[in-house]
Structure 1
Amino acid sequence: MLAPFLIMLREGLEAALIVGIIAGYLRQTGRREWLPAIWVGVFLAVAMSLFAGAAIQLVSAGFPQKMQELFEALIGLVAVAVLVGMVFWMRRAARSIRAELHANIDEALAYKGSAGTWALIGIVFLAVAREGLESVFFLLAIFQQSQDSAAPIGALLGLIGAVGAGWGIYAGALRLDLRRFFRWTGVFILLVAAGLLAGSVRALHEAGLWNGLQGRVFDLSRTLPESSPLGTVLSGLLGYREAPTLGEALVWGIFLAVTLVLFPRPPPEALPARPQTAAPK
């Protein structure tokens, strides 16, 4: 429950911040008449994300068992790629996203008539739809690999929390250290991604496409089974398995060793410029 809650809280807050930046800029520049276009863009993006998720679920339901395992592996791999891309993108873009959005709004509203309205709707739609589609892949992967029956409730609560936090930030009633929030949730999401990656390796084996490194690293089925309360929580959070194979353990460890070393480093734009040395005379 906690993993989908935090993922949807982060994804929803990213979308809410973007919408809040756009709405705040329109209000500050005396263009309130354009505000309804924002909600049109949000509605279209949410509808498209829900439709995409339902379509993927309906299509996959008719697959045979082997194909379903392959589909689960592919969804997990896509989710991992998007999770990592999202975490590192936000680290790099956080400083410039406001200025870029303001420039895009000014450019869109430079069009006359309905063209400006549709351009603004398009900006909001693309921003929110990106977060929505990311959430679809995350939730599909987590629901397929986790035994936590409360995961959908956690996702819904995370989304509600994100909407409330976004509104509080927009109205000035809530102050949140966004830099620290995205840093720590980024570390948590990388841990979740590592579990999804290990689960994808297991699904590839069950689909008959990966049969290497199948030796058991350990077996905690009696000490800490996945069906226990703590095992269920760890499974939902970190992709815990009571008896992981060597292949699953390797991809989990290598993934975290790489991403948790690279993530704390400042992005290239934030690195200080190298001091100039005087040319020899």
Structure 2
Amino acid sequence: MDQVMFIVWRESVEALLVVGILYAWLKASPAGKPGIKYLWGGVAAGLALSGLLALGILGISSWLSDDGQEYFQAGMALVAAALVVQMVYWMKKHGRTLKRELESGLSDAVSHANWWGLLILVMVAVAREGSETVVFLYGSVAGADAAQWPRLILAGALGLLAAFATFWLLQLGGRIMTWRRFFALTEVLLLLLAGALLVSGLEKLVDLGTLPSLLDPVWDSSALLDDSQSVGKLLADFAGYRSHPALMVLLIWLAYWVGTVTLLRRNQARR
């Protein structure tokens, strides 16, 4: 539930940022006001594409055998982890110029009255955030039973409400939190979440016998911090903590952090 709320919150804020930048530019420009309806059309189209992706993923999963579903869920968790790292890397590389790039593309569309080009620009931007949300959520909630779905839906709704509230606070001009601080904080949380998704995918592969466990468990820290309740459960959901880790999963998790930190530091050095 915590993962769902965080994913919906973070991705919705980013989508609101993109739409907010474009809407403010169009509203402030007399030549751009006719494009506002195309802006909302692009938002609707982007959400529709994300919905189709969700239906496609659920359809594929329903056609698979029990083992096939386990492999599919493991694969989606690993893909989601990779997408999170790619998204953080992309935001660190383009975050400073995002507004300028969006406004440049919008200015070109307005100057040529290319409203369909504006619609496509918005559709792609919203669909990108929506598709990431779909993949992340599937990686987090795959395997949930019917009794858990009401709580998961509630978590998603709360995440969406929190996103609107966060966007409003950030629009106040940095009195409480600036955009830079927001992205810096959530990037760390996203990388922790990617580690948790990685661990869940790897554990499925170990359980299926595709990956050797090497040594299982390496230790038992359940007496100190149980990963099924309280703080331990929170760390398990958001950072991949396990009180009974398999050695193979632990080694890959450590390699993930070494590789990710190295990649982001090199990117920072180049900038």
The one-letter code matched in structure 2 to 1:17 is L
- Residues 208-228 of structure 1 show CA distances to partners (whole Å, capped at 9, x for unaligned) of 322252431112455544432
The aligned residue for residue 98 of structure 1 is: 99
- Residues 102-146 of structure 1 show CA distances to partners (whole Å, capped at 9, x for unaligned) of 11112222334xxx2211110100001000000111111111278
How much does 1:230 deviate?
Answer: 3.3
The number of equivalent residue pairs is: 267
The aligned residue for residue 143 of structure 1 is: 141
The structure with more radius of gyration: 1
Partners of 1:145 and 1:229 in 2: CA distance: 21
How much does 1:234 deviate?
Answer: 2.5
The aligned residue for residue 27 of structure 2 is: 27
The aligned runs of 1:5-84 (5 Å cut-off) are 5-30=5-30, 31-84=32-85
Partners of 2:241 and 2:69 in 1: CA distance: 21
Partners of 1:259 and 1:173 in 2: CA distance: 29
Give yes or no for the alignment of 1:3 onto 2:3: yes
- Aligned pair in 2 of structure 1 residues 75, 234: CA closer, same or farther (>3 Å)? same
- Residues 17-55 of structure 1 show CA distances to partners (whole Å, capped at 9, x for unaligned) of 111110111122222221111111111111221221122
Partners of 2:186 and 2:61 in 1: CA distance: 30
Gaps of 5+ in 1: 271-281
- Residues 133-181 of structure 1 show CA distances to partners (whole Å, capped at 9, x for unaligned) of 0011111111127899444433332222223433565687976411111
Which structure has the highest helix share of the two? 2
Q: Secondary structure at the match of 1:95?
A: helix
The one-letter code matched in structure 2 to 1:230 is V
- Aligned pair in 2 of structure 1 residues 153, 234: CA closer, same or farther (>3 Å)? farther
Q: Secondary structure at the match of 1:155?
A: helix
Partners of 2:4 and 2:265 in 1: CA distance: 23
- Aligned pair in 2 of structure 1 residues 173, 266: CA closer, same or farther (>3 Å)? closer
Partners of 1:240 and 1:153 in 2: CA distance: 25
Q: Secondary structure at the match of 2:142?
A: helix
Partners of 2:255 and 2:218 in 1: CA distance: 15
Gaps of 5+ in 2: none
Decide which of 122, 126, 129 is 2:127's aligned counterpart. Answer: 129
- Residues 44-83 of structure 1 show CA distances to partners (whole Å, capped at 9, x for unaligned) of 1112212211221132023212111110121011101110
The aligned residue for residue 210 of structure 1 is: 211
Contact 1:216 1:244 in 2 (8 A): yes
Partners of 1:43 and 1:258 in 2: CA distance: 37
- Aligned pair in 2 of structure 1 residues 182, 265: CA closer, same or farther (>3 Å)? farther
Q: Secondary structure at the match of 2:216?
A: coil
How much does 1:239 deviate?
Answer: 2.7
Give yes or no for the alignment of 1:86 onto 2:84: no
Contact 2:169 2:177 in 1 (8 A): no
Contact 2:216 2:244 in 1 (8 A): no
RMSD of aligned C-alpha atoms?
Answer: 2.6
Q: Secondary structure at the match of 1:96?
A: helix
Q: Secondary structure at the match of 2:112?
A: coil
Contact 1:77 1:200 in 2 (8 A): yes
Percent of aligned positions with the same letter in both sequences? 32
